[in-house]
Amino acid sequence: EAAQRVFSTKGFHKSTVNDIALEAEFGVGTIYKHFSSKEELYISLIENKIDDLGLFLRTNVEAQNAPVEKIRALIGAQLQYFEKNEDFFRIYISGISELEGKVKSRLHSKILERYQRYLIYVSGIFKEGIERGCFKKIDPLKMAVGLLGMLNSFISYWIQTDNSEKLTINVESIYQLIIEGVGREGRLAGSSRE
């Protein structure tokens, strides 16, 4: 958390391991025992936050039974997590553009790996919905790409603009856009909003 605070106030390039050590009330040597560089610490911070997001999403989604409710829970959980962790994601967006070469490539590959797993997970929800007759017979991977693209667009827009409104007010709009696009008319079986 100390690293997150320092990166969020100073940015990646202006932050030093010494700044982070002071904020964490550790010696610089203690940080270097765990991380070989500031870049390594930054990558670890990003990885941990993305893994935390994944756990938060799965916990919220798995609490639901019906595929349509799983999609609603996923939308709500992702928007809630980004809203709650806005500072971190601002660091991520600005910091990633400051990274160079091998470090940027390494972080990109780690993020891509996690994103691919997430796509497979979400497409599994859509596949279940198709099998249960809730969703149209459209490639579930394409539905997952569409949903995640929409979520990412809403989140990016919110982060880059005056976000005086809560991000989570968009849950129903996104849900309706997706469900009306993939839901079979009159077949939203298992929805608490039938």
Domains of the chain, by residue range, sit at 36-182
Among 1.10.357.10, 1.10.10.60, 3.30.465.10, 1.20.1300.10, name the CATH number for the domain at 36-182. Answer: 1.10.357.10
Read off the tokens for 38.
């500031």
Chain segment 60-112, per-residue pLDDT in tens: 999 999 999 999 999 999 999 999 988 788 777 766 766 777 777 888 888 89
Dihedral sign of CA atoms 59, 115, 46, 149 in order: negative
Maximal CA-CA distance, the chain:
63
pLDDT at 162 over 80: no
Q: What is the pLDDT of residue 39?
A: 85
Q: What is the pLDDT of residue 91?
A: 74
- pTM of the shown model: 0.83
